Amino acid sequence: MTRQREKPLALILAAVLMLGLCACSPPEAMSREEIVALVTENEELLQRAAYDIKLLMERYTVMWIEKDASGVIAVVRENGVNTDKSVSSDAVAEALSIEGVQKIENIGGDIRFTCGGGGYGRENLFTGFYYTEYEEPREEFSAQYTRSGEGWEYTRPGDRARYYIEHITGYFYYYEDTY
C-alpha cells in the first residue's frame, strides 16, 4: 500500500516541479527588428522619458526603474543602501507601459531599456535599446569595440561574453548582451 501512495506522490511532485520551471522561464528576447520599430514609433516619448530620468539621476544614484501595482518605482542608492523612490513622470510611466519594455536601468550614465531575454547557466541573451548622449561608443570604450556589420561589438577575451550595439536613430542604440 505504501508503494501505491509513493507513485502518485512522485507524479504530483514532478508536475509541480515542471510547472514551477515553466512559471520561472525568462521572457523571450525581442528581435532587433521589433526593437527598432518600437524605438522608431515611440522616439519622442522615449526622449522625454530619458530626459526625466537624467533629471532624477542628478538627485540620486539610480539603479533601475520599473512599474508595479503602486506605480513607477526607482530603486536608488542612498548612503550605500538601495531605497525605493516614487517617480512622478508621465513619460517614464508611458515608456514602461510600451509592450516589450520591462525595466529601465542606469548603466554608466546611459539609460538602458531592457526588452526581454534570459537563460540558464552560460546561455544568456538579453536585448533592448539604450539612450546615450554620445553618437558612437564612448571614447573610453572605443578601444574595446570593433566594427561588426552595422554596429560595434565587444567580446571579452577568453570568454563567450559578447556585447553588440547598433545605432537606431538619434541617440538610441539597439543592444544584444550575451554571456
| pTM score, whole prediction | 0.76
| Sign of the four-CA dihedral 92, 97, 98, 99 | positive
Cell of 64: 533601475
Q: Is the pLDDT of residue 16 over 70?
A: no
Distance CA 117, CA 126 (A): 4
Q: Is the pLDDT of residue 146 over 60?
A: yes
Distance of CA 160 to the CA centre of its chain: 20
Query: Mean pLDDT, to the nearest integer, of 136-158?
Result: 74
Distance of CA 44 to the CA centre of its chain: 20
Please give the residue that has the higher pLDDT: either 176 or 123: 176
Please give the residue that has the higher pLDDT: either 160 or 137: 160
Give residue-wise pLDDT tens across range 21-57. 444 444 588 999 999 999 999 999 999 999 999 999 8
